[in-house]
Structure 1
């Protein structure tokens, strides 16, 4: 594992979520913040629109106990009066434009941080894992050369993924960790994630890549840092003797793939 020196300010912001205007933190935290902002604004706009509509419906209601002479109802085809030369319309459109532009700018700045793999570079504890897609499985290659079909990573650590493909277009994604990146033959794409708690997740391929596409999954195991370091210390390159048993974990999936995929299309 990369040396565990003291984390910089970036690491503090990364694991606490930050407190500035543009949210910082894990990918899940950032996307949750974006969802919350859109939800709050959507509810606020809905309350204003529906409230104004309800007010006018009540004001212009018909009923035996309502004095029609007290209310000057608009007539069909009648131009609105008292608009002060379009001032209300200008203010309404101006406020809407400011809100929309501000929301777009804020979201763009937030996504710049989320989609920038270099945002993990300041953390000396970060680890880098190569993700290689192939019909119809994923291979994870660690800095020491160890290969596995199970992605293992420690908690509270920047995990930098370098994604590529050895045959056709794939797309690597872990929905619970808000990770998604293209796997393109002859090219590499980069992404990152941080997991807060130990657990098991499922990685999927999100690019239709052949007859075994629906079986192109992989396990993602998030471990406590001490447990991960102990496991990593016992791994080696493919020609070594140590391993993690990942192939046994996905044996049933591989068997199913063999039945549905073309013989020349299966790789591990």
Structure 2
């Protein structure tokens, strides 16, 4: 029941626009902006209050009586019976709880992703030292091709050792674990080529373990997907740009020397 209530609450907040929805990159940018703005506001208030008191209780300056100046080792007076302390604690509590709740609701969306029926699924298999992408029709490729503005769910695993699949430009990152499956999702708003990398030290060829992610127009992607064969394989990129080879033997041989 608490989970249902929490989900409904965050759903309502999402409809009001308080919790951002969109691509992963958009959501993480909103989180950064909120923390930046809130941190800046708190810093301005704290530093401003400190400077105000430093000026108010400064030495000299023809201020006259120093009866109300704080004295080292004595408890301050005139605080209104602790009202300032209570107010500061209350405001701090409100800010922290609000920020934690908002961040949790935002990251909950990132974690769960869009509904399954609204996504296309691609299986990602890591191996030393490359990536294999398997599409629903069984087609395999070392280049990940996806349509623009469509949510893509990646089911990630490993054939040998621990890897970590990530596309930094699209804010995607998840573990590739032998014998287990993890999943993540993303949606790209702009066409073009992106780079996927391994973020888990997995051997001597770790730095060569990259792959090209090609974001295509939807109709172009549909034409490409219909031309693929079930169980067929595709090696290399056909976009005219150089991509890292799945088995960088020459580079590894050079390292071995």
Q: TM-score, normalised by structure 2?
A: 0.85
Which has the larger displacement, 194-203 or 84-93?
84-93
Equivalent residue for 1:120, pick from 115, 120, 124: 115
Q: Tell me, in whole angstroms, the C-alpha distance in 1 between the residues paired with 2:124 and 2:251.
A: 20
Instruction: Give how far 1:200 is off.
Output: 1.2
Instruction: Give how far 1:104 is off.
Output: 0.9
Contact 1:158 1:194 in 2 (8 A): yes
1:49 aligns with 2:46: yes
Q: Cα 1:165–1:260, aligned 2, differ >3 Å: closer, same or farther?
A: farther
1:138 aligns with 2:131: yes
Aligned with 1:221: secondary structure? strand
Instruction: Give how far 1:69 is off.
Output: 2.0
Q: Tell me, in whole angstroms, the C-alpha distance in 1 between the residues paired with 2:17 and 2:59.
A: 51
1:26 aligns with 2:23: yes
Q: CA RMSD in A?
A: 2.4
Equivalent residue for 1:255, pick from 236, 249, 256: 249
Contact 1:236 1:243 in 2 (8 A): no
Instruction: Give how far 1:71 is off.
Output: 6.6
Contact 2:196 2:211 in 1 (8 A): yes
Q: TM-score, normalised by structure 1?
A: 0.82
Structure 2: segments with no counterpart, 5+ residues: 1-10
Q: Tell me, in whole angstroms, the C-alpha distance in 1 between the residues paired with 2:202 and 2:15.
A: 39
Q: Deviations over 1:23-49 (max 9, x none)?
A: 111111111111111111011001101
Structure 1: segments with no counterpart, 5+ residues: 1-12, 263-268
* Alignment-derived partner of residue 226 in structure 1: 219
1:86 aligns with 2:79: no
Q: Tell me, in whole angstroms, the C-alpha distance in 2 between the residues paired with 1:169 and 1:260.
A: 24
Aligned with 2:165: secondary structure? strand
Aligned with 2:78: secondary structure? coil
Say how many residue pairs are matched. Answer: 241
Q: Deviations over 1:144-198 (max 9, x none)?
A: 1111111111100011100111111111111110111111111111110000010
Structure-to-structure mapping, 1:1-268, within 5 angstroms: 20-63=17-60, 65-69=61-65, 72-117=68-113, 119-123=114-118, 126-238=119-231, 240=232, 243=234, 245-246=236-237, 249-251=243-245, 254-259=248-253
Q: Cα 1:189–1:252, aligned 2, differ >3 Å: closer, same or farther?
A: closer
Which segments of structure 1 move beyond 6 Å, counting only runs of 4 or more? none
Aligned with 2:154: secondary structure? strand
